[in-house]
Structure 1
Amino acid sequence: MEYQAKYITEDIKLSCYQDKFFKSDILFEHHMLIWFISGETKIVQSEGTYIFQQGDIFLIPRNQLATIINYPKNGLPHQTVVMHLTTPWLRDFYERLGVKPKPAAAQKIRHFRDHPLLQSCLSSLVPYFDMQELPKDIAHLKIMEAVTILRSLDPEIDGMLASFEEPGKIDLTDYMEKNFMFNMPLEKFGYLTGRSLTTFKRDFKKAFDTTPQKWLTQKRLELAHYQFVEKKKKPIDVCYEVGFENLSHFSFAFKKHFGYAPTSLLAARG
């Protein structure tokens, strides 16, 4: 895979994937504002699947699990400008404003298709990536410009950006049933449910009467079977969307669990 990245600071980068595709299961540590120059991204979250492409601008909230699949498209690489809106920067920004909004009820992706102000702000960053010496404080000023535009576009955005709480202890069964398809270390699942790794494993055993790995594998394979039969999806798409890292491992596990290969379901379609 050929990947290239250029940085203004560690919080603003120009990202480019030249290969066929790139897939990753991610927990976003910071809010991310992304502008698409070319290519396509599929983002799978517990509440649904999003597809973004050239011209799209979207904001992904922090502490959200997602499967990200990046594709080149129309002969062009997958290329984006990415701006991290970090907790320290936002905390300072909102303290200066004296704004203390109520936390947003739903931390969901915000989509701003072809918005002229945001597009102008993010596209103006591109020339800076090739400069050896940058104007003083340009990154800070550009992030401030972007956040100011976001606040003017979405009256509820403060509830997302100015929420600095860490995940608290929540219902383990409900959370895992919604997020089992994300291939995260158990420590991350523990963090997101407000538990240490030891407490997570203990509570998991109590809730599901099995180990996390056995339960996760079974749930992912059952979802894969549903995607084949009911949604008519292809193995290569299903494999990555349900939490497996490669097609050969997925096919082996599927056959071992169900007694037949995913390709037999495709053949049965006719």
Structure 2
Amino acid sequence: MATKHENRFANMIWAVTEEAIFKDEIVLDFHSFVRILSGEMKVVQADQSYTFLPGDTILFPRHQLSSVIKKPRDGKPYKAIVLALTTAQLQQYYSKTTFTRPLHYSGQTQPLGSHPLLDSFFASVIPYFNLQDQLPLTIAQLKIEEAISIIRSISKNADAILTDFSDPGKLDLVAFMEKNFMFNIPLEKFAYLTGRSLSTFNRDFRKTFQMTPQKWLTHKRLELARFQIAKNHKKPVDVYLETGFENLSHFSFAFKKQFGYAPSESI
């Protein structure tokens, strides 16, 4: 069972614990700074996947679609500390900072490796979860600024990521959907990330693909799952989460309905 323990500093930081395997689709409105304490986290994106273990630290850029699979490891539950870096906080920080604005931003997840500054920062944060009262706002703000400064000192891409305050512009629908169909997020999010209202997204989608978004997404996810099972010799239990399905039984039912045989028969 998942638990989320906030430390009472204005929802800026929290601890997450998963006792069993848990999958979520994320596309955050803020950057997140994450330290894995125990367990394992697999991050699946359109063109790359990562596996993070205890001691790893990651910067997740906002507006980036990812499937996140968290699981226990070595007899310990998945535990992590997550710090939210909002646009407002970053704008305030950079308004007081002299820097050269980078020209390129890859938009990819940034593994930050190991560094004494990271170890020191997260060690200083853990005791806050035992506080009985609200952490003073001045201290909270100092910790946010400390986190940003550490990220900037470690990652050469930090300023390119953290100073991108723009909303998504209107994107090519075919290219975006072909790249991101495996992410099980609401249509409203797909619409926003392609720079459209929901009604415009639905209209453009039907015109482009000649079917509803829901039908097209299911078809594409099942095709990907069949390829992973038949060609890459993966087991259905290892595939369904990574191809946009919430549970194995629904995946098996939809697979058999589309192809006429069970996914286990593809192996």
TM-score bracket, shorter-length normalisation: over 0.9
- Is structure 2 residue 34 aligned with structure 1 residue 42? no
Matches within 5 A, 1:32-111: 32-99=32-99, 101-102=101-102, 104-111=104-111
1:26-62 Cα shifts (integer Å, max 9, x gaps): 1111100000110101111111111101010010000
Percent sequence identity over aligned pairs: 48
Q: What is the alpha-carbon distance in structure 1 between the residues aligned to residue 210 and residue 198 of structure 2? A: 17
Aligned residues: 265
Residue 255 of structure 2 corresponds to 254
Aligned partners of 1:12 and 1:139 also within 8 Å: no
1:143-190 Cα shifts (integer Å, max 9, x gaps): 111111111122331111011000010100000000000111111111
| Cα distance change, pair 195–4 in 1 and its aligned pair in 2 (3 A) | closer
Q: CA deviation at 1:136?
A: 5.1
Q: What is the alpha-carbon distance in structure 2 between the residues aligned to residue 155 and residue 37 of structure 1? A: 25
- Is structure 2 residue 239 aligned with structure 1 residue 238? yes
1:197-238 Cα shifts (integer Å, max 9, x gaps): 111111111211111111101000000001101221121221
Aligned partners of 2:112 and 2:154 also within 8 Å: no
Residue 155 of structure 1 corresponds to 156
Matches within 5 A, 1:1-270: 1-9=1-9, 10-18=11-19, 20-99=20-99, 101-102=101-102, 104-133=104-133, 134-135=135-136, 137-266=138-267
Q: What is the alpha-carbon distance in structure 2 between the residues aligned to residue 73 and residue 125 of structure 1? A: 23
1:125-145 Cα shifts (integer Å, max 9, x gaps): 011110223355222111111
SS at match of 2:149: helix
| RMSD over aligned Cα atoms | 1.4
SS at match of 1:251: helix
Under a length normalisation based on structure 2, what TM-score does the superposition of the two structures give? 0.95
Aligned partners of 2:7 and 2:131 also within 8 Å: no
Aligned partners of 2:42 and 2:69 also within 8 Å: yes
Structure 2, gaps ≥5 residues long: none
Stretch deviating more after TM superposition (40-49 or 230-239)? 230-239
Structure 1, gaps ≥5 residues long: none
Under a length normalisation based on structure 1, what TM-score does the superposition of the two structures give? 0.94
